[in-house]
């Protein structure tokens, strides 16, 4: 995990006030008192998402919203822990996640000069224009920091209303914890759930991530294959004759690497030609769009997965 400059945040045990934005202190103070998660964005849902992330069951972006990714993560956690699988928060789930003993879920982060050096500004959308660049980096400090702490950009901005996101400024961020350790022997890409489950050699679920899979017109593959190679910071080879046509680009192009590239920060190559598991420049869209056949994860999830798999890891596509 990256080296971070962190400071403790004071915890104010106060109830949220109507009309005020959600705060880091409210997330820290949130506790489960029974019933389902609130329908609206809430401190409790944000805390739950952070605890699920720590447990290796990714909610995707941490945004405080009860939605498809959060509910599917709850079901995955229940299955991992042998609990009733219904996708609903209850006291058994809350205590299995650590509940009142989980420790701080928010932290302060002081922005460093190194953080500011990786910002490239607005990027073009046309692949031909992107192919002329050297690096598809972050477009703003907020985007970079949101991704580092597994957060939705708008949620990060909400928690830090009035922040300028400049060097030396301390902001409130989630504390999702470091990457998991272990060896993944088998992966299931579950098309019906839009999730990927990773198992060790004994059949225990190590991790579980939300994914985007292919559409009816550009379906993900079927059957069993294996990991051939793992490529961090991959370039992207666009071939309209093999995959799809972007804009008016009818000739092959090579796009440079970077978190905002079409395949994000990692490409895990599969034994079926042209298919892989990879990152995405738009993590909030995982449950809202289809891919062109490959399997998309958030950049941070695929970085973690790349540390857990190796050449020969079995990958099964199931319904």
Convert the pLDDT of each residue in 43-56 to its tens digit.
999 999 999 999 99
State the pLDDT at residue 235.
Answer: 98
272, pLDDT greater than 60: yes
Domain boundary among 177, 212, 229: 177
Return mean pLDDT, the chain: 91
Convert the pLDDT of each residue in 84-139 to its tens digit.
999 999 999 999 999 999 999 999 999 999 999 889 999 999 999 999 999 999 99
Q: Are residues 116 and 217 both part of a single domain?
A: no
Q: Total structural domains in the chain?
A: 2
Q: Are residues 154 and 256 both part of a single domain?
A: no
Q: Considering 3, 150, 292, 294, which one is annotated as catalytic?
A: 294
State the pLDDT at residue 76.
Answer: 98
Contacts of 18 (CB under 8 A, 6+ apart): none
- Residue 241 sits in a domain whose CATH number is 2.40.440.10
Domain boundary among 150, 177, 204: 177
Confidence of residue 292 (pLDDT cuts 50, 70, 90): low
Domain boundary among 177, 196, 212: 177
Tokens, residue 2 = 């990256």
Give the span between the Cα atoms of 252 and 91, in whole angstroms.
54
Would you call 3 a catalytic residue per the annotation?
no
312, pLDDT greater than 90: yes
Model's pTM, two decimal places? 0.91
Secondary structure E strands in 182-258: 186-190, 195-199, 205-210, 223-232, 236-238, 253-255
pLDDT (average), residues 12-35? 74
Q: Which among 158, 129, 151, 170 is positioned nearest to 255, based on CA atoms?
A: 129
Q: Considering 65, 150, 237, 278, which one is annotated as catalytic?
A: 278
Q: Are residues 208 and 250 both part of a single domain?
A: yes
Q: Are residues 190 and 167 both part of a single domain?
A: no
Q: Are residues 103 and 160 both part of a single domain?
A: yes
DSSP SS3 for 252: coil
Q: Are residues 73 and 24 both part of a single domain?
A: yes
pLDDT (average), residues 177-184? 95
Q: Are residues 146 and 195 both part of a single domain?
A: no
Contacts of 242 (CB under 8 A, 6+ apart): 274
Task: Report CA Rg, the chain.
Answer: 20
Q: Are residues 199 and 166 both part of a single domain?
A: no
State the pLDDT at residue 220.
Answer: 81
State the pLDDT at residue 4.
Answer: 35
The total number of residues written for the chain in this structure: 319
Q: Are residues 170 and 197 both part of a single domain?
A: no
Q: Are residues 229 and 146 both part of a single domain?
A: no
pLDDT (average), residues 133-153? 98
State the pLDDT at residue 214.
Answer: 74
Confidence of residue 244 (pLDDT cuts 50, 70, 90): confident
7, pLDDT greater than 80: no
Q: The tokens 């980096």 sit on which residue?
A: 137
Would you call 278 a catalytic residue per the annotation?
yes
151, pLDDT greater than 70: yes
Burial annotation 40-64 (CB, 10 A radius, 16+ → b, else e): ebbbbbbbbbbbbbbbbbbbbbbbb
Confidence of residue 17 (pLDDT cuts 50, 70, 90): very low
Q: Are residues 169 and 208 both part of a single domain?
A: no
Range of the domain at 104: 1-177
| Highest mean pLDDT, choosing among 11-15, 67-71, 277-281 | 277-281
Confidence of residue 242 (pLDDT cuts 50, 70, 90): confident
Q: Are residues 63 and 82 both part of a single domain?
A: yes
pLDDT (average), residues 232-257? 94
């Amino acid at each position: 995990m990256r080296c971070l400059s962190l400071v403790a945040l004071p915890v104010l045990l106060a109830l949220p006030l109507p009309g005020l934005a959600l705060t880091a202190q409210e997330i820290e103070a949130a506790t489960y008192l029974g019933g389902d998660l609130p329908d609206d964005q809430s401190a409790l849902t944000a805390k739950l998402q952070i605890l699920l992330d720590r447990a290796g069951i990714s909610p995707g972006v941490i945004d405080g919203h009860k939605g498809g990714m959060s509910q599917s993560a709850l079901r995955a956690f229940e299955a991992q822990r042998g609990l009733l699988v219904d996708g609903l928060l209850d006291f058994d789930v809350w205590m299995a996640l650590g509940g009142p003993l989980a420790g701080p879920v928010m932290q302060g982060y002081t922005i460093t000069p190194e953080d500011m050096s990786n910002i490239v500004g607005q990027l073009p959308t046309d692949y031909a224009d992107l192919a002329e660049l050297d690096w598809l980096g972050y477009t703003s400090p907020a985007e970079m920091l949101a991704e580092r702490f597994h957060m939705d950009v708008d949620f990060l901005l909400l928690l830090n209303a009035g922040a300028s996101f400049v060097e030396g400024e301390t902001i409130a961020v989630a504390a999702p914890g470091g990457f998991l350790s272990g060896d993944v022997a088998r992966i299931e890409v579950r098309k019906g759930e839009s999730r990927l489950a990773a198992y060790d050699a004994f059949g225990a679920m190590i991790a579980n991530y939300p994914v985007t899979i292919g559409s009816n017109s550009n379906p993900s593959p079927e059957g069993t294959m294996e990991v051939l190679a793992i490529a961090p910071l991959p370039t992207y080879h666009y071939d309209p004759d093999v995959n799809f046509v972007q804009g008016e680009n009818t000739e092959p192009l090579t796009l440079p690497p970077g978190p905002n590239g079409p395949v994000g920060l990692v490409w895990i190559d599969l034994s079926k030609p042209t298919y892989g598991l990879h990152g995405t420049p738009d993590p909030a869209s995982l449950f809202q769009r289809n891919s062109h056949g490959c399997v998309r994860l958030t950049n941070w999830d695929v970085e973690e997965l790349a540390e857990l798999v190796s050449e020969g890891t079995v990958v099964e596509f199931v319904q």
